[in-house]
């Protein structure tokens, strides 16, 4: 619909450049504003779900609990920004921005439906990998610029962990590439379409890669049970221990935007994105649409919360062992297996 309005605007004002600028900005806002709202309600849902799992009620007071995230946001925004006296001021302010920008930039190539995508890039998947790998700068700079032992320890842990799990994540994406025959996210979803419904999706032939991708995603976003970089019981709050007010809110926003991004990506790469789990011949339930993508992403988001309420934190050396000695060998072997499957014709790339 926006494209049609843009065409009309271009025709009315006979100025294509300004139309591109205005309408791209509108599209960006149409992605980021709902994303920020999603983050707000995701925090509420997290507190509620973990509360129920621990036989509590969670937040109940402000607007019966529903308006709790807004209360939190206003509290954070009105708080004073405190800077440690020995901190590196420029990098201390720059770090939250460096964490937030890649987290939001990655959303530009996410397709929400067959034609609904901000940038239908041919190297979309590579762009995503590049953006998520840049998020670590915000964390290590925050740790270093704070000039605090705990923040620095958290930053070191986060950097080592994210660099290690990126490799396993990259290899599981290579498997998807071989199976789909494209780096374009829209075409990856289209490659999973077929008459078999959910049995045509990549989760079945690439099951080990699917599991490893999501677990690496949890480790990459530094969430429980891989949250040693925050590690409340050991190093207070890790890399953002010295941050207060809105600077802390930016870190919070970046972390949750990254989590939702991993949920969307897992749905797009392995669970057929906006495709319906039922065959197309089943009528209404077999129709593809964005609601399926949201449903799948919601499932993964719930897994995040479930993990947090269930598993104890990994010991640091075991995180490293899991990443390097378990995940990377399995992914390398399964990339080979995928190649053989494609070579033998059991899995047709792009179909």
Partner 1 sequence: MTLPLILFYAFGAILIGSALAVVTARNSVHAALWLVLTFFTSACIWLLLHAEFLAIVLVLVYVGAVMVLFLFVVMMLDVKVAPLREGFVRHLPVGLLVAGVMLAEMLGLIGFGKLNEGGALVDAAAAQGLSNTEWLGRTLFSDYILPFEIAAVILTVAIIAAVALTLRHRPNVRSQDPSAQAAVRSQDRIRIVEIASANKETP
Name residues contacting partner 1, limited to 85-104 (CB under 8 A): 91
The contact pattern for partner 1, residues 104-123, with x = CB under 8 A and - = no contact, is: -----------------xxx
Instruction: Establish if 130 lies at the interface with partner 1 (CB under 8 A).
Output: yes
Residue 16 makes contact with partner 1 by CB under 8 A: no
Least Cβ distance, residue 243 to partner 1 (angstroms): 18
Q: Is 144 in the site for partner 1 (CB under 8 A)?
A: yes
Q: Is 24 in the site for partner 1 (CB under 8 A)?
A: no
23 lies in the site for partner 1, by CB under 8 A: no
* Choice between 19 and 155, CB closer to partner 1: 155
Q: SS in 3 state form for the chain?
A: CHHHHHHHHHHHHCCHHHHHHHHHHHHHHHHHHHHHHHHHHHHHHHHHHHHHHCCCCCCCCHHHHCCHHHHHHHHHHHCCCCCCCCCCHHHHHHHHHHHHHHHHHHHHHCCCCCCCCCCCCCCHHHHHHHHHHHCHHHHHHHHHHCCCHHHHHHHHHHHHHHHHHHHHHHHHHHHHHHHHCCCCHHHHHHCCCCCCHHHHCCCCCCHHHHHHHHHHHHHHCCCCCCCCCCCHHHHCCHHHCCCCHHHHHHHHHHHHHHHHHHHHHHHHHHCCCCCCCCCHHHHHHHCCCHHHHHHHHHHHHHHHHHHHHHCCCCCHHHHHHHHHHHHHHHHHHHHHHHHHHHHHCCCCCCC
Binding span for partner 1 by CB under 8 A among 28-36, 124-132, 203-211, 335-343: 124-132
Q: How far is the CB of 146 from partner 1 (least distance, A)?
A: 12
- Cβ distance to partner 1 smaller for residue 79 or 187: 187
Among 53, 159, 288, 332, binds partner 1 (CB under 8 A): 159
Instruction: Please select the residue that binds partner 1; options are 13, 310, 321, 350, rule is CB under 8 A.
Output: 321
Q: Which of 10, 32, 133, 298 binds partner 1 (CB under 8 A)?
A: 133
Least Cβ distance, residue 34 to partner 1 (angstroms): 26
């Amino acid at each position: 619909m926006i494209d049609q309005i843009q065409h009309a605007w271009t025709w009315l004002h006979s100025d294509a450049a300004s139309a591109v600028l205005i309408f791209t900005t509108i599209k960006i806002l149409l992605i980021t504003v709902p994303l920020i709202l999603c983050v707000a309600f995701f925090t509420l849902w997290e507190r509620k779900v973990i509360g129920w799992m621990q036989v509590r009620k969670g937040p109940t007071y402000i607007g019966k609990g529903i308006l709790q995230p807004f209360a939190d946001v206003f509290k954070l925004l009105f708080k004073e920004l405190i800077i440690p006296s020995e901190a590196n001021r420029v990098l201390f302010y720059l770090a939250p921005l460096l964490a937030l920008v890649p987290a939001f930039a990655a959303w530009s190539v996410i397709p929400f439906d067959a034609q609904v995508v901000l940038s239908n890039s041919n190297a979309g998947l590579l762009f995503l990998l590049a953006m998520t790998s840049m998020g670590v700068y915000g964390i290590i700079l925050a740790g270093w610029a704070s000039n605090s032992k705990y923040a620095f320890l958290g930053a070191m842990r986060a950097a080592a962990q994210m660099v290690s799990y990126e490799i396993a994540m990259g290899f599981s994406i290579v498997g998807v590439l071989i199976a789909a025959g494209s780096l374009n996210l829209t075409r990856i979803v289209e490659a999973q379409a077929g008459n078999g419904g959910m049995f045509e999706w990549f989760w079945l032939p690439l099951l080990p890669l699917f599991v490893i991708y999501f677990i690496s995603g949890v480790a990459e976003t530094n969430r429980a049970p891989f949250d040693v970089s925050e590690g409340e019981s050991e190093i207070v709050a890790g890399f953002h221990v010295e941050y207060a007010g809105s600077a802390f809110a930016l870190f919070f926003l970046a972390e949750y935007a990254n989590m939702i991004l991993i949920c969307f990506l897992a749905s797009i790469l392995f669970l057929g994105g906006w495709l319906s789990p039922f065959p197309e011949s089943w009528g209404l339930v077999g129709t593809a649409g964005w609601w399926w993508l949201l449903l799948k992403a919601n499932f993964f988001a719930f897994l995040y919360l479930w993990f947090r309420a269930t598993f104890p934190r990994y010991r640091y050396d075991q995180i490293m062992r899991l990443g390097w000695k378990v995940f990377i060998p399995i992914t390398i072997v399964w990339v080979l297996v995928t190649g053989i499957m494609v070579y033998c014709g059991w899995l047709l790339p792009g179909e």
